[in-house]
Amino acid sequence: AQSVSQHNHHVILSEAASLELGCNYSYGGTVNLFWYVQYPGQHLQLLLKYFSGDPLVKGIKGFEAEFIKSKFSFNLRKPSVQWSDTAEYFCAVSFYNQGGKLIFGQGTELSVKP
């Protein structure tokens, strides 16, 4: 079965530290890749997405992610986190010709200490 896994359940960082959140998926076919963020008490917001082309994609709020096809990975990065980045981060994958259904990873809770 197709699946998405996020390596870290809870990450705690100090402000200005660098962030990398891992995401791997199981399927070897053509995929669309997403990172969503859920701030406390708010709804899911799209951070960035990859459809095709340059495997390094830049999103909002200084986030970026790199698609490495050979590793089935789509890791999220930010060079310097802020307290306001405290949130839950979800990696999600949709598979071509699957009606657009998204499969989510388990989520990573990021806590940034001021």
Partner 1 sequence: GAVVSQHPSWVICKSGTSVKIECRSLDFQATTMFWYRQFPKQSLMLMATSNEGSKATYEQGVEKDKFLINHASLTLSTLTVTSAHPEDSSFYICSARDPDGWEGYQETQYFGPGTRLLVL
Residues that bind partner 1 (CB under 8 A): 32, 34, 36, 42-46, 49, 51-52, 90, 94, 96-107, 109
Q: Is 99 left (phi over 0), alpha (psi -120 to 50) or beta?
A: left
Angle (nearest 5°) at CA 12 between 10 and 16: 140
C-alpha 95/C-alpha 93 separation (Å) is: 7
Nearest residue (CB) to partner 1, 82 versus 106: 106
Give min distance, CB of 91 to partner 1, in A: 10
Give min distance, CB of 21 to partner 1, in A: 14
Looking at this protein, which amino acid is placed at residue 42?
Answer: Q
Give min distance, CB of 88 to partner 1, in A: 9
Tokens encoding 112: 């940034």
Nearest residue (CB) to partner 1, 19 versus 47: 47
